[in-house]
Amino acid sequence: MEDTVKIVLLGSPGSGKGTTRDLIAQHYNLKTIIVGDIVKQEIRNESHLGQLMYKYTTEGKLVPDQFIMDLVAAQCSDIKDYNGFIIDSAPLSLEQKQELLKRLDIDVAVYLKISNYDVVRQRTALRLVCPNCKLVSSVVSTPDAICPRCGAHLERRYDDNPQTVETRINRFIRETIPVVNEFKKEGKVVTINAELDKQAVFNEIIKKLDNFFNKSTLK
């Protein structure tokens, strides 16, 4: 287990998490754990935990952090054929971080840093996604709104309207930046300038992660 790579990916909306996550997972052969997806999957499976979580969501309540982290930890312990895992969208708060670290260790938090949130406002205003293959594009690069990968009709994300984006940015600053700062104190943050284009972001990540793992865990 010593050589397992354990990464969390943190970044505001519009920081390029989805694209970056897929590139990192592919490059290092990591299992991708997308928190929203595994919660939905568990509810669909109608497991005991899934039924509990469904009850919370139908009552308009937040699913307690310990339930979500139980699910995340279960996914992380089942990584056969992979070199490790990358968790997208957790921990989003100090409470979630505490719950997560009760269950497993994390080597490194990759932080997709945005210094000027106007970049995010602009990206999300232009963003299009493919409902079929999940490709992320923009009205600039695909003005015909046809997915270049699978031919489906691209759509706006429901939570990309300006008001929701502001709420999501504010929540990130208030609740998730403290998580980044704590990981920083523990010497576990790799900060990436997420305002660059995606190839530059990816190159920077690979360089810094290779460096990080050479220095710390892969002795």
Interface with Zn ion (CB under 5 A): 130, 132-133, 135, 147, 149-150, 152
Shortest Å distance, C-beta 152 to Zn ion: 5
> In sequence order, which residues have a C-beta less than 8 Å from that of residue 62 and are 6 or more positions away?
56
> In sequence order, which residues have a C-beta less than 8 Å from that of residue 219 and are 6 or more positions away?
none
Question: For residues 150 and 218, which CB has a smaller minimum distance to Zn ion in the complex?
Answer: 150
Shortest Å distance, C-beta 134 to Zn ion: 7
CB 14 within 8 A of CB 114: yes
Shortest Å distance, C-beta 41 to Zn ion: 21
Question: Which three-class secondary structure state does DSSP give residue 151?
Answer: coil
Handedness of CA 33, 36, 38, 39 (dihedral sign): positive
Question: For residues 133 and 196, which CB has a smaller minimum distance to Zn ion in the complex?
Answer: 133
Question: For residues 93 and 142, which CB has a smaller minimum distance to Zn ion in the complex?
Answer: 142
How far apart are the C-alpha atoms of 208 and 194, rounded to whole Å?
14
| Structure-token pair, residue 43 | 């509810």
| Structure-token pair, residue 127 | 């963003």
Question: Which three-class secondary structure state does DSSP give residue 29?
Answer: coil
Question: For residues 74 and 145, which CB has a smaller minimum distance to Zn ion in the complex?
Answer: 145
Please classify residue 46 by burial: count the beta carbons closer than 10 Å to its beta carbon, then call 0-12 exposed, 13-18 middle and 19+ buried.
exposed
Shortest Å distance, C-beta 153 to Zn ion: 9
Shortest Å distance, C-beta 132 to Zn ion: 5
Question: For residues 145 and 152, which CB has a smaller minimum distance to Zn ion in the complex?
Answer: 152
Shortest Å distance, C-beta 148 to Zn ion: 8
| Structure-token pair, residue 59 | 């009552």
Question: For residues 133 and 218, which CB has a smaller minimum distance to Zn ion in the complex?
Answer: 133
- The count of other CB atoms within 10 Å of the CB of residue 99 is 21
